[in-house]
């Protein structure tokens, strides 16, 4: 297979390029020349999605993978430029394209937002529309949920790992058995390549089954991998919310039971599971992410278009003091 990776040096793009190389695929990476290209790619083309597509004027590929998250016009330009020279177009979208709040059990048929606005959901939906208009049934829409794993540049799992590595009493938002729904970036990459090989098209919600991990198993894995010096102090959701702590942002991954949790962690992913999606254990995702973080010589990457996540240490100390 000849794969064109639009990007290929960051989180999802890098994992996808690496997985394709391991399969023996001929991988071309198109990027701006700022990131590190994975070993083993066949060709590197320098350009800019926002104005310089000259490097894509020639060449043919069996498939392209696109992770763009901003203006849909950029996706439309790439899709148009490659028309007739790419067999299938996989666009990494998001489950956020569904109208919020999605009820528990919602699947790919749940209503979606319009594509004309400027928030994240509308931008991703605009990208879906652009790809579908150009490629029809050859468009594969990868509606990923929460993505974790090595190379993460948003800061969710890295924040928890760094926090437990510091040790001491750690505020753990409950309940302990709260089900989580996420996907390891490598499982997302492998399924994407399998789907392209099989000629799949249309939308797929890509995330683990709800309860594949819980807040308890997730945080236990973080404590274990970072040396076991941290003590998890569990707090009920009401206590956390009353302290002014923002779910998802101050305490990454966590959403209290209710509307937000239903939308983020209780989706129906039977379609993807039926198409071969497999999800590795949370302990493996946590261990490999910690190993990657420890291998870095500087701070972990942070996307410039996303806020820095994590709880203010002073707020944590204040809440923990009340839990003695």
Q: What is the pLDDT of residues 211-263, one digit of tens each?
A: 999 999 999 999 999 999 999 999 999 999 999 999 999 999 999 999 999 99
Cβ-based neighbour number of residue 313 at 10 Å: 10
Please determine whether the domains at 2-147+184-206 and 152-181+209-267+281-322 fall in the same fold group of CATH.
no
The domain limits of the chain are 2-147+184-206, 152-181+209-267+281-322
pLDDT of 37 strictly over 80: yes
Average pLDDT, the chain: 97
Cα dihedral 125→127→132→137 (10° resolution): -90
- Give the number of C-alpha atoms closer than 13 A to the C-alpha of residue 84, restricted to the C-beta side: 4
Condensed to tens digits (0 to 9), the pLDDT of residues 157-198 reads 999 999 999 999 999 999 999 999 999 999 999 999 999 999
> Domain spanning 2-147+184-206: which CATH class is it, in words?
alpha beta
Tell me the pLDDT band of 324, cut-offs 50, 70 and 90.
confident
pLDDT single digits (tens) 8-19: 899 999 999 999
Residue 141, by phi and psi: left (phi above 0), alpha (psi -120 to 50) or beta?
Answer: beta
When the candidates are 2.60.40, 3.40.1360, 2.30.29, 3.90.25, the CATH number that belongs to 152-181+209-267+281-322 is 3.90.25
Q: How far apart are CA 275 and CA 191, in angstroms?
A: 9
**Rounded to 5 degrees, what are φ and ψ at 139?**
-90, 125
DSSP tally for the chain: helices H, then strands E: 11, 13
Rg from Cα positions in the chain: 20
Supply angle C-alpha 145, 147, 153, rounded to 5: 135
Dist CA 145 CA 182 (whole Å): 6
What are the φ/ψ torsions at residue 24 (nearest 5 degrees)? 85, 15
**Angstrom distance (rounded) from CA 290 to CA 5:** 26
Predicted confidence (pLDDT) per residue in 81-110, tens digit? 999 999 999 999 999 999 999 999 999 999
Q: Is the pLDDT of residue 117 over 90?
A: no
């Amino acid at each position: 297979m000849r794969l064109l990776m639009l990007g290929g040096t960051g989180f999802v793009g890098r994992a996808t390029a690496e997985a394709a190389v391991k399969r023996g695929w001929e991988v071309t990476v198109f990027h701006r020349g700022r990131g590190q290209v994975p070993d083993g790619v066949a060709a590197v083309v320098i350009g800019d999605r926002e104005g310089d597509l000259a490097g894509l004027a020639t060449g043919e590929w069996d498939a392209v993978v696109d992770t763009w998250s901003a203006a849909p016009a950029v996706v439309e330009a790439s899709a148009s430029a490659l028309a007739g020279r790419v067999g299938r177009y996989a666009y990494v979208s998001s489950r956020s394209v569904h109208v919020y709040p999605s009820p528990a059990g919602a699947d790919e048929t749940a209503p979606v937002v319009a594509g004309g606005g400027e928030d994240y959901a509308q931008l991703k939906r605009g990208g879906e529309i652009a790809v579908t208009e150009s490629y029809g049934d050859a468009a594969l829409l990868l509606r990923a949920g929460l993505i974790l794993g090595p190379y993460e540049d948003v800061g969710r799992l890295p924040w928890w790992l760094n926090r437990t590595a510091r040790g001491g009493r750690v505020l753990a938002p409950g309940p302990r058995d709260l089900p989580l729904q996420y996907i390891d970036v490598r499982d997302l990459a492998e399924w994407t390549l399998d789907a392209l090989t099989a000629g799949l098209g249309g939308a797929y919600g890509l995330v683990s089954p709800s309860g594949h991990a819980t807040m308890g198993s997730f945080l236990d894995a973080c404590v274990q991998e970072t040396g076991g010096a941290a003590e998890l102090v569990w707090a009920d959701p009401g206590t956390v919310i009353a302290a002014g702590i923002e779910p998802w942002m101050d305490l990454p991954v966590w959403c209290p039971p209710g509307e937000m949790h239903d939308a983020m962690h209780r989706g129906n992913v039977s379609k993807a599971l039926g198409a071969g999606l497999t999800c590795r254990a949370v302990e493996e995702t946590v261990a490999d992410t910690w190993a990657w973080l420890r291998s870095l010589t500087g701070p972990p990457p942070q996307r410039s278009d996303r806020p820095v996540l994590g709880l203010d240490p002073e707020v944590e100390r204040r809440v923990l003091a009340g839990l003695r």
